Amino acid sequence: MKIIDKIGSRLDVSYFKKSGHADISSILNWKGVVLLDDRDNKVDLARCYMQELQKLSCGVCTPCMIGTSVASDILEHICNGQAILKDLDRLRNQCDWILSSSKCTVGNMGPLAVTELIDDFKQDFENAIISKEFIPRGDYIAHSTAPCINGCPSKLDIPDWIERVRDGRFEDALESARRSTPLPGILGRTCFHPCQDNCRRANVDGTIQICLIRRFAADSVFYSDIKPKFAIKSNGIKVAIIGSGPAGLSCAYYLRLMGYKPVIFEALPVLGGMMTVGIPKYRLPQEFLDKEIGYTLSTGIDYKLNQRLGRDFTVQDLFEQDFKTVFIAVGAHRGQNIGLPGSDDNLKGFYDGVKFLRDVALGNKIDIGDKVIIEGGGNVAVDCCRTAIRLGCKEVIVVYRRSKEQMPAALYEIDTAVKEGVRFDFLTNPVSIVQEDGVVKGVECIKIKLGGIDKSGRRSPIEMPGTNFNMECDSFIMAVGQVPDLDFLKDLPQIKTANRDRIIVADKFTHMTDMPGVFVGGDILTGPLSIVDSNRDGKNAARRMDQYIRTGTFEPTDDCLFEYLFEEIGVYDKKEVIDYTDFPEGNPAAKQVEEPVETRIDNFKEVDKGLTSDDVIYEATRCMRCYFLMLVKFEERSGIKKINTKYFYYKY
Ligand code: SF4
Ligand code: SF4
């Protein structure tokens, strides 16, 4: 028997067993079989796996559609004592036919686990046929994933909606994506797309442009003003969501789909959190933001603006107003101050990066002069410099203490900023702000050399004594990180913080804090992350809040177990050699259209225009539909609860 690796010994499923769930005895997946308990019936394993595989078959190609059906029937006959020995050869042949002739990964990898069982345990199959004994069905759950799905923090069913786009069913595609996020179009524009870093097509001729495909679908649909087509049965239970960023909106949306009455409390005069006041409009146009947030709210979500937790209301007030649970996701809207001399002097011309972007987004009056220096290496710093260019600054310089390769900002953003006229001074670090009569006049900097690897895994910056020099400027923007404003916690002594008061402590699985009924998510739980990470937190917290309200307790669901197993086993294999002969000449990814530099740098017009419709269809056709199936069998022990299946499934 080929045990695919030593995974059995490194799996720790104790978390999932804490509510009395059974031990895992076998796992079948796209790589083969892991038998943790050799007593498991191999024929039953093969039957259940093949039947689950049949459900994944989309029916487009005959070998997969017919083959999985015939193979399932043969296995069912063996288990019912109705097969003859010849059926075993038929079964093996069906598997070979599916493997060799199917169009997508469901067929051309799916049956491997079954062929492995037949080849390695032929005697067991023959004995089952000869004895004609009835084989009872074991206790299984199954789940599919794909490398791209597993790479996406919010687990969007990417191959599913790509297929719908390929067929021109854009609204359907968005509905599919919305099972995992209420913000599919916004993510299509702004996500840093870890899914694409996990796309198997990269092993052939280049990753699929997943983000841009979804963006196209969203644009096609949203500009025709669609409304939700599904009805929600309200349960009348009020839940409070504090913060309307991606975590808050996502939590509100999924609670609403479950029938709750969410009310969002937002401190700012606008909805959207960092999506509205942190991402410049040339990356995410307001019109589109309004459309997608509007769609989300139109499911029946209420909201109140200019309501700051701790100033205008308390968590206690909410419980007294009969809100059953509270989800806090106020984001990280305060610029980090690293103690640069002059930064606390309230100087005219000094800005923190987050506030600068917020002021521009809210249309507040801002005058940064002709020459601005920005300190930082992350995406906020790059957003600040590109915004400064658009505000009419003649000279925009980013100073960063490490090298370009070590900048946390996306490379594409850095290169785009350079094209727009931004200068990057690497290996340069500000040591103080030069001021005169309360006004910024420049920055004193020092030259840096790189030393050994530090805790961040990058080479450490070392100041070079005697290399200090001054740079003149009208404004200085410090964009070296952002932290949450947790002042509201003074009213909530039960809730603990960590990481020098930068995050709130909560159970990583349930999202609940030490104060019963109060949940947290997004940047205040993890530190600043991306929109898609916050979206995941909001969605997961919604499930836990629902469980908590209904049962007063929490139980892990099968989704959590599979998420853990997929993570542990690994889904995308960079080294996999894929023999994909449909496009022998290669079929490289399409490129998106850009607004020319000359017509974009004096305004906030959207820069990236996405793909043309022809390119979108071309890209969607390149997708190999890499669904991988995993089946988990549990030990058969009486009185053991099975993990909930299909717990979080919505029918639109
Ligand atoms: S949300 Fe981001 S990671 Fe997920 S599918 Fe979309 S682009 Fe990829
Ligand atoms: S080819 Fe398609 S299904 Fe496969 S990993 Fe890439 S996007 Fe996902």
3-class SS string, 231-260: CCCCCCCEEEEECCCHHHHHHHHHHHHCCC
Note the pLDDT of residue 554.
78
Note the pLDDT of residue 479.
96
With a 6 Å cutoff on the Cβ, whether 624 touches ligand 2 is yes
Q: Do 604 and 587 meet the contact criterion of CB atoms below 8 Å apart?
A: no
With a 6 Å cutoff on the Cβ, whether 158 touches ligand 1 is yes
Please compute the mean of the pLDDT values over residues 149-161 and round it to a whole number.
Answer: 93
**Cα separations (Å) of 389 from 349, 372, 597?**
16, 9, 11
Residue of 182, 174, 154, 184 whose CA lies nearest to 299: 182
| Residue 288 to residue 291: CA distance in whole angstroms | 5
CATH code: domain of residue 30: 1.20.1440.230
* Domain final residue pick, 84, 115, 138: 138
Q: Is the pLDDT assigned to residue 7 strictly greater than 70?
A: no
Q: Is the pLDDT assigned to residue 252 strictly greater than 60?
A: yes
48 CA to centre of ligand 2 in angstroms: 25
Q: Is residue 100 part of a domain?
A: yes
Vertex 625: Cα angle to 623 and 629 (nearest 5): 155
Note the pLDDT of residue 637.
47
Please report the atom of ligand 1 found closest to the CA of residue 535: 1
Please report the atom of ligand 1 found closest to the CA of residue 181: 1
Tokens 């449909």 belong to 582
Q: Are strands 428-436 and 439-453 parallel, antiparallel or unpaired?
A: antiparallel
Q: Is residue 56 part of a domain?
A: yes
Q: Which of 152, 155, 537 to mutate to test the pocket of ligand 1 (most atoms within 8 A of CB)?
A: 152
With a 6 Å cutoff on the Cβ, whether 194 touches ligand 1 is yes
Q: Which ligand is nearest to the CA of 622?
A: 2
155 CA to centre of ligand 1 in angstroms: 8
55 CA to centre of ligand 1 in angstroms: 25
Tokens 């017509």 belong to 599
With a 6 Å cutoff on the Cβ, whether 50 touches ligand 2 is no
Q: Is residue 495 part of a domain?
A: no
Say which residue, 20 or 66, is predicted with more confidence: 66
Q: In 10 A of CB 623, how many CB atoms?
A: 22
Q: Are strands 302-304 and 261-265 parallel, antiparallel or unpaired?
A: parallel
Q: Which ligand is nearest to the CA of 204?
A: 2
Confidence of residue 343 (pLDDT cuts 50, 70, 90): very high
105 CA to centre of ligand 1 in angstroms: 21
Average the pLDDT over each of 5-14, 241-250, 358-367 and give the range with the smallest value: 5-14
What letter represents residue 594's amino acid?
A: E
Nearest CA to ligand 2 atom 6: 199
245 CA to centre of ligand 1 in angstroms: 17
Sign of torsion, CA 355 529 274 388? positive
CATH code: domain of residue 358: 3.50.50.60
Q: Is residue 383 part of a domain?
A: yes
Q: Is residue 615 part of a domain?
A: no
pLDDT, tens only, 362-391: 999 999 999 999 999 999 999 999 999 999
Confidence of residue 587 (pLDDT cuts 50, 70, 90): low
148 CA to centre of ligand 2 in angstroms: 6
With a 6 Å cutoff on the Cβ, whether 201 touches ligand 2 is yes
Q: Which of 214, 571, 592, 619 to mutate to test the pocket of ligand 1 (most atoms within 8 A of CB)?
A: 214
Coil vs helix vs strand at 350: strand
Confidence of residue 208 (pLDDT cuts 50, 70, 90): very high
| Residue 442 to residue 33: CA distance in whole angstroms | 65
Quote the number of domains for the chain: 2
Q: Which two tokens stand for residue 247?
A: 């975590």
> Which ranges of 167-281 would DSSP assign to H, the alpha helix?
170-177, 184-190, 210-222, 246-257, 274-277
With a 6 Å cutoff on the Cβ, whether 626 touches ligand 2 is yes
ipTM, 2 dp: 0.83
Q: Is residue 39 part of a domain?
A: yes
Q: Are strands 503-504 and 497-498 parallel, antiparallel or unpaired?
A: antiparallel
| Residue 36 to residue 28: CA distance in whole angstroms | 11
Please report the atom of ligand 1 found closest to the CA of residue 530: 2
Residue of 165, 60, 64, 180 whose CA lies nearest to 111: 64
181 CA to centre of ligand 1 in angstroms: 10
* Domain final residue pick, 82, 109, 138: 138
Q: Is residue 585 part of a domain?
A: no
Which range marks the domain in which residue 385 is found?
338-478
φ, ψ dihedrals at 240, nearest 5°: -105, 135
Biggest alpha carbon–alpha carbon distance for the chain: 97
Residue of 146, 250, 232 whose CA lies nearest to 629: 146
Tell the burial category of 552 from Cβ atoms under 10 Å away from its Cβ (0-12, 13-18, 19+).
exposed
Note the pLDDT of residue 82.
95
With a 6 Å cutoff on the Cβ, whether 146 touches ligand 2 is yes
With a 6 Å cutoff on the Cβ, whether 525 touches ligand 2 is no
Q: Is the pLDDT assigned to residue 592 strictly greater than 90?
A: no
Confidence of residue 223 (pLDDT cuts 50, 70, 90): low
Nearest CA to ligand 2 atom 2: 623
Q: Is residue 368 part of a domain?
A: yes
Note the pLDDT of residue 457.
83
626 CA to centre of ligand 2 in angstroms: 5
pLDDT, tens only, 295-323: 999 999 999 999 999 999 999 999 999 99
| Residue 397 to residue 424: CA distance in whole angstroms | 6
603 CA to centre of ligand 2 in angstroms: 36
Note the pLDDT of residue 15.
54
Please compute the mean of the pLDDT values over residues 432-453 and round it to a whole number.
Answer: 95
* Domain final residue pick, 443, 461, 478: 478
Say which residue, 588 or 278, is predicted with more confidence: 278
With a 6 Å cutoff on the Cβ, whether 195 touches ligand 1 is yes
Note the pLDDT of residue 296.
94
Please compute the mean of the pLDDT values over residues 450-473 and round it to a whole number.
Answer: 92
**Cα separations (Å) of 247 from 27, 34, 154, 204, 481?**
33, 37, 11, 35, 19
195 CA to centre of ligand 2 in angstroms: 9
